[in-house]
Structure 1
């Protein structure tokens, strides 16, 4: 009865501010979150405002591929 494609997929959200800083080696690390999204409802890349422990503030976290 199950369909071939999984509708809910696991994604990784990465801080966009830390990624820019890591080029200059000013950051200690990159903040990442794991979450799930519904492929039918959100076909585009997901961007959420989450807390980054390396920046110390809420920043935009964007979806990256595995």
Structure 2
């Protein structure tokens, strides 16, 4: 699917600089940025889930020790 991406001057400059620095096309730079944010988002969720599980486990253990 194709979309038209409208960028203001600042975002266009950043996209152009990113593409130039990593040696890819402007299109690839946008896809790369999407991939990077998606990976960060899913990583944060996995870390949050793991932390919540640890808190539940340790919370139960500490509660039992306190009894």
Query: Shorter-chain TM-score: which interval?
Result: under 0.3
Q: TM-score, normalised by structure 2?
A: 0.20
> Structure 1 or 2: larger helix share?
2
Q: TM-score, normalised by structure 1?
A: 0.20
Q: State the structure with bigger RCO (CA 8 A, min sep 6), 1 or 2.
A: 1
